[in-house]
Amino acid sequence: MHTIKMVDLQRQYNSIKQPIDLAIRSVVEKSDFIMGRAVADFESKLCDYLKVKYAIGCASGTDALQIALMASGIGDGDEVITSPFSFMATTETILLLGAKPIFVDIDSQTYNLDVSQISKQITSKTKAILPVHLYGHPADMKPILSLARAEGLFVIEDTAQAIGAQYFGAFAGTLGNLGCFSFFPSKNLGAFGDAGAIVTNDPKLAEQCKMIRLHGSRTKYRHEILGVNSRLDTIQAAVLNAKLPYLEGWLQKRIAIAKTYNKGFERLPLTTPFCSSNIRHVYHQYSLCTSRRDELATFLKENGVGSAIHYPVPLHRQGAYDKVKDLRTKLPNSERIASEIISLPMFPELTESEIARIISVVCKFYSS
């Protein structure tokens, strides 16, 4: 009995081996490894896919967040309202720039920001709202955008887990001032290493992001502002170019797998992923909530089914933030869900028999 992995990247590679190998070989033969032609090609194709004006490739999703914050002028003493239930990158970038994350608890159904609590946290120091489209389900953007317009705040979307997700027909990441994407290998659209991008419809912000990723420069050896070194590698861009045409098909498979899981678990005493109306959830993770999480994880492992916990410790409880004043607040939804969440295998190449086996193992756990 083979173990079913959380993600099987070898299967994906084997399914599209020829276009991937050709794309990589092309870069190697040209030897345009830094800011080569494939980078501009990918930026253009990403704009076309997301229906947005500007895309700026960078070295990682974390860098995308930092560059977006820098382009928005966020720095010492500023406050950014965001979610405590996300990966560390969402908030470490805020603190590294001298600003402060202000946590708002999450909605108990979507696991995204509880929009009803945001206005209570706005102060004279607030400069931006940073919603996270967690697990592939977009945050509730209409009230966020309305509040941001009224208060004069930037909206920077953490879309690391949600490429292709839609909110009332618009793509996640294209609704605020800036959208940040990660192409970490396990993402719905993954490179062969770290890679990221920022998208926007604002020409001034786009120009700032382009300069920041390249040491604050428009022209070689002329540095107008402080920047960083965060260029999207040409080889990674070539891989993403080869994969992008398959993305929609992969997303449809994820959605179909999630529907099969939902049906298989509908009578069990656990919570399956919620999907709001007028939303396209793209299921970067398929996560269950159960008070018996740790027991279930052990049972899955014993029966050859992979699982993962995203995320076991909410950001406001991370040790790295122990010395940051006022971050250790009480956020009950985030804390409860962090203790109950568990993710099951989710990738487009899962076979019908593997999906059936996963469902069977989970059902067996609850019947035993």
Residue 265, domain CATH: 3.90.1150.10
pLDDT of residue 326: 74
Q: What is the 3-state secondary structure (H, E, C) of 274-314?
A: CCCCCEECCCCCEEEECCCHHHHHHHHHHCCECCECCCCCC
Q: Is residue 4 part of a domain?
A: no
- Boundary of a domain, candidates 245, 262, 281: 245
How many structural domains is the chain composed of? 2
Query: Is there a single domain that holds both residue 18 and residue 96?
Result: yes
Please give the share of the chain, as a percent, with pLDDT higher than 70. Answer: 99
Q: Is residue 200 part of a domain?
A: yes
Position 328 confidence tier, pLDDT thresholds 50, 70, 90: low
Q: Is residue 2 part of a domain?
A: no
Query: Is there a single domain that holds both residue 231 and residue 316?
Result: no
Please give the share of the chain, as a percent, with pLDDT higher than 90. Answer: 96
Q: Is residue 35 part of a domain?
A: yes
Query: Is there a single domain that holds both residue 329 and residue 265?
Result: yes
Q: Cα–Cα distance between 271 and 107 in angstroms, integer?
A: 14
Query: Is there a single domain that holds both residue 330 and residue 201?
Result: no
pLDDT of residue 330: 86
- Boundary of a domain, candidates 245, 276, 300: 245
Residue-wise pLDDT for 349-363, tens only, equals: 999 999 999 999 999
Position 304 confidence tier, pLDDT thresholds 50, 70, 90: very high
Query: Is there a single domain that holds both residue 32 and residue 96?
Result: yes
pLDDT of residue 324: 81
Query: Is there a single domain that holds both residue 69 and residue 137?
Result: yes
How far out from the chain centre does Cα 261 lie?
22
Query: Is there a single domain that holds both residue 256 and residue 236?
Result: no
Query: Is there a single domain that holds both residue 334 and residue 191?
Result: no
Q: DSSP character for 107?
A: P
Residue-wise pLDDT for 53-107, tens only, equals: 999 999 999 999 999 999 999 999 999 999 999 999 999 999 999 999 999 999 9
What's 227's domain CATH number?
3.40.640.10
- What average pLDDT score do residues 127-136 get? 98
Position 213 confidence tier, pLDDT thresholds 50, 70, 90: very high
**What range does the domain containing 344 cover?**
247-367
Taking all residues of the chain, what is their mean pLDDT, rounded to a whole number? 97
- What average pLDDT score do residues 191-196 get? 98
- Boundary of a domain, candidates 229, 245, 261: 245
Query: Is there a single domain that holds both residue 229 and residue 271?
Result: no
Q: What is the DSSP string of 239-271?
A: HHHHHGGGHHHHHHHHHHHHHHHHHHHTTSSSB
Q: Is residue 3 part of a domain?
A: no
Query: Is there a single domain that holds both residue 82 and residue 143?
Result: yes
Q: Is residue 52 part of a domain?
A: yes
Q: Is residue 1 part of a domain?
A: no
pLDDT of residue 329: 78
Residue 175 has pLDDT above 80, yes or no: yes
Query: Is there a single domain that holds both residue 194 and residue 293?
Result: no
C-beta of residue 97 within 8 angstroms of C-beta of residue 74: yes
Q: Is residue 86 part of a domain?
A: yes
Query: Is there a single domain that holds both residue 258 and residue 342?
Result: yes
